[in-house]
Structure 1
């Protein structure tokens, strides 16, 4: 590795796409570099323009202003690439944990934030007014890393859960699925539209036939009846002014669940802070079906009743919510992020107090009825 009097560390070649792939058997993997070589053309450009490259490397704000004032950096590919590498190295000066990697293009960052350097160069020149938001991102980056580490630690250990399942498994009612056609009259095969490939870009902003989810709504009645039959739970059924049906399930032990059903979705509220929509997304790209929505509702609700819900709040300085769902068959999923923004500070404090009294955030299972009528 070479060294430089501009950046405080050894210089390495730019990683390529294959360097991120572990080939076994093979040599020991090479740690990703903090600084890469190949920025010399930019350093020479800066000197000719009357700037000190070392000073620019040590002051990302000054570097931003210099790049923004010289759009000609984009004129030649060689100069642009050198500027990109210089920019990435300067980010690594500001955030010493940042490392270079090559995904679809060169990036510098950590597991929480990674900056594509080609996009950054063009962004500085085309949108110099984004200087302050970029600076704020850099300031918050170390805390984002710490929060992510704390969040990752929550999912590190395996947990033995005392699941309580019903003696008779839930049986889904038969769903009556109508055919849906496109503008040309061809049948749309929801659930397999993209044949394992990538959907077109416009599919992410397009929703066709949202009524295709309606058959899954009939599952909720049967699911609530099943839970009420086997678990010691009080169920309040009502409708609101919009006509949406609501079930509020209050078990004698474990997390409460409220289900709000409209014509095309179910909103699931559980425990202290868990919120979930089924379907989670209605766009054509996600290609959800009535069957997949029914799967989601059943898996979520049955797992919570069986004792598979975990809520940890607050996590880290950003006060994230961490949730986990475990199923008796060994499945599960986890998530994290800000809690429902509609909740007040007092409501969040009450939730934190409640969850702090649970063993590591795990809600107990619902209690089975001693006898079924």
Structure 2
């Protein structure tokens, strides 16, 4: 590796897409570089303009102003490349935990924030007024990393849960899913449309046949009936003013569940702050099916009733929510982020008080119904 008087560390070649691929048998892992080479042309241009590149490397504000004042940096690919690499290295100076990587393009960052350097270069030149938001992002970055460490610690925690499972397993009703066709009349095979490959870009903004999820309503009915049969829970069934069906499940112990279902989706509200959407996305790229949505609903509702729901709030300075779902068979998933913005501040305060009284945020299992004699 080479060195430079401009940046405080060794210089490495720019990572490429191949460096991120898994190779088996794998060699010794190579740590991603903090600084990359190939910025010398930008250094020369800075000196020609009467500016010391060492000063720019140590002061991102001065670097932003210099780049904004020299839009000709974008005139030639080699100049833009050198400037982008210098920018990325300067970010690594400002945030020592940042490392280079290649996704769809070179980026520098951590697990919480990653900056595509070519895009940043264009952004500085085209929108120099964004200097202050960029500075604020850099200032918040260390706290974002610390918050992420807290989330990681929560996810890694081992816990023994005393699951309470209904004595009779749930039996899913057969889904009556009709055939759907595309504009040419060809049958659409949802769930396998992209044959393991990547969907086309426009598929992410396209939604066809959202009504394909309508058969899931029979699964919701069956799940609610199953829970009402085996657990001590009061169930309120109604329709709201929009015509959506609503099921409100109030157990004697554990987290309540409210389900709101239409022909296109089901919203799950549970515990203090948990919100889940089934399907999580209806776009063509995600290629969800009625069966995959039924899987999600079955896993979520049965796990909550069995005692597998955890909510931790607030986490970190940003007061984010950590949710976790564990299933009796050893599966599960977790997530985190800002609570649903529809929650008013008073409700968040109430949730904080409530969750603080639960053991590490774990909701107890529902109580099994006493068999009728």
Fold-level match, TM-score > 0.5? yes
How far 1:20 moved relative to its partner? Answer: 4.2
How far 1:94 moved relative to its partner? Answer: 1.0
Would you say the 8 A contact 1:217–1:265 is kept in 2?
Answer: no
In structure 2, distance between residues paired with 1:199 and 1:97:
34
Q: Structure 2: 5+ residue runs without aligned partners?
A: none
In structure 2, distance between residues paired with 1:26 and 1:187:
43
In structure 2, distance between residues paired with 1:224 and 1:156:
32
SS of equivalent to 1:129: helix
Query: Aligned in 2, Cα 1:281/1:17: closer, same or farther, shift over 3 Å?
Result: closer
Matched residue, 1:101: 101
Matched residue, 2:182: 182
After superposition, the C-alpha distances for 1:312-358 in whole angstroms (9 at most, x for unaligned) are 00000000000011111111111111112111111111111111111
After superposition, the C-alpha distances for 1:219-253 in whole angstroms (9 at most, x for unaligned) are 11111111111001111122222222211111111
What is the correspondence of 1:99-178 to structure 2 with a 5 Å cutoff? 99-178=99-178
After superposition, the C-alpha distances for 1:33-84 in whole angstroms (9 at most, x for unaligned) are 2222221111110111121111111221221121122222222332222111
Query: Could you tell me the TM-score, scaled by structure 2's length?
Result: 0.95
Matched residue, 1:53: 53
How far 1:101 moved relative to its partner? Answer: 2.3
Matched residue, 2:227: 227
Query: Aligned in 2, Cα 1:266/1:127: closer, same or farther, shift over 3 Å?
Result: same
Q: Which moved more, 1:26-35 or 1:133-142?
A: 26-35
In structure 2, distance between residues paired with 1:293 and 1:191:
11
**Is 1:306 aligned with 2:302?**
no
How far 1:27 moved relative to its partner? Answer: 5.6
Q: Structure 1: 5+ residue runs without aligned partners?
A: none
How far 1:23 moved relative to its partner? Answer: 5.2
Q: Which moved more, 1:102-111 or 1:150-159?
A: 102-111
Matched residue, 1:336: 336
In structure 1, distance between residues paired with 2:302 and 2:19:
43
Would you say the 8 A contact 1:248–1:257 is kept in 2?
Answer: yes
Matched residue, 1:78: 78
SS of equivalent to 1:312: strand
SS of equivalent to 2:215: helix
Query: Aligned in 2, Cα 1:318/1:238: closer, same or farther, shift over 3 Å?
Result: same
Matched residue, 1:320: 320
SS of equivalent to 1:235: strand
SS of equivalent to 1:155: helix
Would you say the 8 A contact 1:258–1:268 is kept in 2?
Answer: yes
Q: Give the number of aligned pairs.
A: 373
In structure 1, distance between residues paired with 2:81 and 2:242:
57
Matched residue, 1:15: 15
Query: Aligned in 2, Cα 1:31/1:182: closer, same or farther, shift over 3 Å?
Result: closer
Query: Aligned in 2, Cα 1:234/1:202: closer, same or farther, shift over 3 Å?
Result: same
In structure 2, distance between residues paired with 1:21 and 1:191:
26
Matched residue, 2:207: 207
RMSD of Structure 2 on Structure 1 (CA): 1.7
